Amino acid sequence: MKKGIISIVAILALILFNSNENGTDQDKRIFKIVRIKDQAWMAENLNVSTYRNGDTIPQVKNPALWSKMKTGAWCYYDNDEENGLKYGKLYNWYAVNDPRGLAPKGFHIPTDEEWAQLVNNLGGEEAGAKIKAKKGWKHNGNATNETGFSCMPGGYRYSVGSFLYAGNNACFWTATESRNKNKAWGRTLHSSFSDVGRDDGSMGSGLSVRCIMD
């Protein structure tokens, strides 16, 4: 009987979470796709240096220059290219909102509501554990990654240019602007907790980006 229950659980997981698809971004990089119920997400952080039309997004290392940006920019955590291999790029919200399109063709930056749907699809309170990668988090991250979403703790960059919390936090932009001036909504995961937090942050901050299929 126990074996049969395990088989049923495995079948249900296969139905709800399918990660056998790939896509290609505008930089010709292949990425994994994971389907979670009725949504299809990138299964890794965005790592492009161009908009969808081919225009270059500037890499900004200098903290003083980063703090003044009012147009799209990206960086690696700690300005270290090795971190890009683990975490992808960090983007300010001006890049997220640029009409030239940051997301690959067939995808878009998820809204606050689409992130809420993901969390609700995964049962709400424990959703964070289900989308965290099993490796890379400090304190083991309270992670099961049963969805295959494989969220990595890429940290973030303050709008003033300093970097914080790689290994402890994953922070993602949404496409939804906050009612607070110069702020937009984001989602945050922490190594010590199993939930997905919601907060609005300065548009000049550098956060990770996950895209969702149109």
Among 204, 139, 128, 195, smallest CA distance to 165 is for: 139
Q: What is the C-alpha separation between 23 and 161, in angstroms, rounded?
A: 32
| Chain segment 85-139, per-residue pLDDT in tens | 999 999 999 999 999 999 999 999 999 999 999 999 999 989 999 999 999 999 8
What does pTM read for this prediction?
0.91
Query: Radius of gyration (Cα) for the chain, nearest Å?
Result: 17
Contact 170/183 with Cβ under 8 angstroms?
Answer: no
Look up residue 57 and give its two tokens. Answer: 């997004």
Lowest mean pLDDT among 13-22, 78-87, 191-200: 13-22
* Interval 72-91 mean pLDDT: 98
pLDDT above 50 for 205:
yes
**Of residues 18 and 146, more confidently modeled:** 146
- The whole-chain average pLDDT of the chain stands at 93
| DSSP one-letter string for 55-113 | PBPPB---HHHHHH--S--EE-GGG-HHHHHHH--EE-HHHHT-TT-SSPTTEEPPPHH
pLDDT for 204: 98
